[in-house]
Amino acid sequence: MTGIQIGIVMGSDSDVGVMKKAADILERFEIPYYMTVASAHRTPDRVAAIAERAEREGWKLLIAGAGMAAHLAGFLAAHTVVPVVGVPIDSSSLNGLDALLATVQMPGGVPVATMGIGAAGAKNAGILAVEVLAAFDPTLREKLRRFREEQKAEVEKKAAQMETSSL
């Protein structure tokens, strides 16, 4: 796969610990991606420019993570028809509930596919991005099936360990 396929944008560098989970998945599946910081409130022009670049370069999907009054995903979506996946970050005193509601409650006409709050949401955003690409790539689909099998084997292993130690 050549050229950037996925863009990961976060509202602040303080979000990187969470958003790295999405990047980790893309690296695991060898998907070329671009990751940066841009804020809907502090640098709106920069966010619009990223959306325009995504259109111009044919990126397949954008992942946007932001906390607090999280307008990043919706603001990106307003500037492009590239699909946007939103990750609400648990960076506030409301533990991300504010970001969840701000990200998920888009008015009809401009969708944001919103994940769960925090690290699991970021990981799932990465997996969802791979699933979207895999719809057009049988080799990637096969890799995703193996990923599921590995997860299953991990749980079986942990279950066996737990059962042995509780005997």
Give 85 or 133: the residue with its C-beta nearer to ligand RP5: 85
Q: CB-based burial of residue 136 (10 Å sphere; 0-12 exposed, 13-18 middle, 19+ buried)?
A: exposed
Under rule CB under 6 A, residue 68 binds ligand RP5: yes
Under rule CB under 6 A, residue 36 binds ligand RP5: no
Give 14 or 161: the residue with its C-beta nearer to ligand RP5: 14
Give 47 or 130: the residue with its C-beta nearer to ligand RP5: 47
Quick one: which of 61, 63, 104 has its CA closest to 83?
61
| Shortest distance, position 91 Cβ to ligand RP5, whole Å | 3
Under rule CB under 6 A, residue 11 binds ligand RP5: yes
Give the sign of the dihedral formed by CA 128, CA 130, CA 133, CA 136: negative
DSSP 8-class letter at 15: G
- CA 69, chain centre distance (Å): 18
Under rule CB under 6 A, residue 66 binds ligand RP5: yes
Inter-axis angle of helices 138-165 and 119-134, to 10 degrees?
Answer: 140
User: 77 to 136, contacts with ligand RP5 by CB under 6 A?
Assistant: 89, 91
Token pair, residue 98, equals: 């504010």
Among 7, 67, 88, 126, binds ligand RP5 (CB under 6 A): 67
Residue in the block written with tokens 């790539």: 137
Q: Which residues bind ligand RP5 (CB under 6 A)?
A: 11-12, 14-15, 39, 66-68, 89, 91
